[in-house]
A and B are shown apart, each in its own frame.
Chain A
Amino acid sequence: MALLFLVLSSSAWSELVIRVTQGNDQPTIIAVAPIALNGIQIKEDIGSIVEADLKRSGLFSAIPRRDMLAFPSVASDVYYRDWRMLGTEYLVVGAMIPIGEDRYQLDFSLLNVTAQKTEFNHRVSGSKTQMRDLAHLISDKIYQEITGIRGAFSTRLAYVTANREKGKYVYRLNVSDADGAREKLMLESPEPIMSPSWAPNGKELAYVSFETGRPAIFRQNLVTATRQQLTNFTGLNGAPSWSPDGTKMALVLSKDGNPEIYMLDLASNKFTRLTRHFAIDTEPTWMPDGKHLLFTSDRGGTPQIYKLNIASKATERLTFRGNYNARASLAPDGRTLALIHRSSDTFHVASFDLVTGRMIELTQTRLDESPTVAPNGAMLMYATKQGDRGVLAAVSLDAGVRYVLPAKSGDVREPAWSPFLR
């Protein structure tokens, strides 16, 4: 396929820009002082990246820099009274120094302004190309200290874009930081690319590509860009989902005449058929125990979510409310499902509690798809439409926080939130 490119370079095609559309009612107020650079020339503003991370979570509001009376960089230079007057509850200060050839060390502190004490000090280091990584790591530490929830700012997104350029389709598989920055092109093809799924170690993606003229499942290493075609069966080859231990993949094949869930053992390349039904069985996703799968089936007449015991092959229907519940994505608590739910002829993202059976609609848009829950369970991302364009949007699992990541151009779809990468 001469028209197929495999690239790891930065692309400026559709870089995502975040707009927070709804935040928490009672956000924690924080001030992030500019990081003292001691003459080091970097293009990123680390303090601004940290501030944007925290604001995007919806749990924080930030004191603007222009309101600050001073820019302290160490705890001993802080006059708490000044910061209390600004109404901030927390203050972040930090300074960076060079420690070797393209190696920089950043010491930062989280200060509790109300209690007038240092919550913690932390030291991070990296090269000039890792400045955004340093910033996201600082955000993770601060978020965890204040909320008690592990931060997911250092994670990544995989997503597919589709454009028509000069009358031809161009499909791209991209990976970016969780905030949409540093977009990297992984695969470009004139034929559809679908269903990206992260390996649990965050180093590989599985996806569906039509580059051979038919759908086939591939796995691709994100660092080396080496890849391998895993399936080449007649009919559907779709919906790959990596097992929690990384050794297997659940997927969909229709070589038997209709779509069935299979499990592929990645070491032995052996396929095991898990469902046996004339209906559509698709969209498998693993339970954290690695022993059960959730999947979509219309065996009851309409698409609903079912649970499958891999050992016994026993299935159990989980959703009953509404005539369309599909594409489950499980939160890390193993209990909350995000899914696509149809009500009054529109398709929303809803959460579904596996224990109580309670379904809550989280979005008001009408053509939502592909929910994917962050590894800390705080937010989920999904694809929706703005006008005629596909965009990615995020909502917290309690629906209190929302933001949109509109691409500058083209159609963005099928977000997949990476696991924790450290």
Chain B
Amino acid sequence: MIHSNKFGFTAVVLSMILAGCSSAPTDESTDIEDTAVQTGQVDTSAIDDSAMMDAASAADTVFYFDYDKALLKPESRAALLEHAAALNSNPRSVRLEGHADERGTREYNMALGERRANAVKEFMVLQGVSAGLIEVISYGEERAASYGSNDSAWSMNRRVELK
């Protein structure tokens, strides 16, 4: 169940990156179909190599946000609950890296990235994770996950990565 979620999610992410900035939104579904097979194959071998991984590490580690917002999306909940449970049973230090899209000013986006990472941190602390285990760092718009100045690239860049 978790694995299939992971596959579907990663495939979409990778294919959107592969599709790049050139494709118009209407072409995206075609591109996703074409490339999903490829990325799925890549992921299969990765999972085989790490058969001993626990459940939480297979859950999503990237959480997306709306423009100029730092509210967690409902679809982030399940994976975050898994991470919190894993950290509660097996405490370790984690790093939450907050990011923003390129629109707006750089230092304001640094603040926005931090606000997003803090939103994830607060959720996990509410689930019982020790705040001391969580380091928050913002990269603002300095480390894009997807290049291109369009809505699909921007939506991939407004994110928090759990590491």
Contacts and interface: CB of A to CB of B under 8 A. Distances in A.
A303 B108 CA distance: 8
A194 B142 contact: yes
B115 A192 contact: no
B102 A282 contact: no
Interface string B108-126: 1011101100100000000
B134 to A, nearest CB: 11
Chain B: number of interface residues, binned into ranges: 20 to 34
Given A236-B114, A280-B112, A195 B103 contact: no
Given A214-B137, A236-B138, A327 B105 contact: yes
A377 interface: no
Q: How large is the interface on A (under 10, 10 to 19, 20 to 34, 35 or more residues)?
A: 35 or more
B57 interface: no
Given A388-B21, A388-B149, A282 B107 contact: yes
Given A280-B115, A388-B149, A296 B142 contact: no
B106 A194 contact: yes
A347 B110 contact: no
A296 B108 contact: yes
Contacts of A385: 149
Nearest to A237: B110
Contacts of B105: 283, 296, 303, 326-327, 340, 369-370
9 contacts: A169-B143, A236-B138, A258-B111, A283-B107, A326-B104, A327-B105, A327-B108, A347-B104, A413-B106
* Top 8 A-B residue pairs of the complex, sorted by shortest distance between their CB atoms: A192-B142, A327-B105, A280-B111, A239-B107, A259-B111, A326-B105, A282-B107, A283-B107
Interface of A: 162, 169, 192, 194-195, 210, 213-215, 235-236, 238-239, 252, 254, 257-259, 280, 282-283, 296, 298, 303, 324, 326-327, 340, 342, 347, 367, 369-370, 385, 388, 413-414
Interface of B: 21, 102-108, 110-112, 114-115, 118, 136-140, 142-143, 147-149
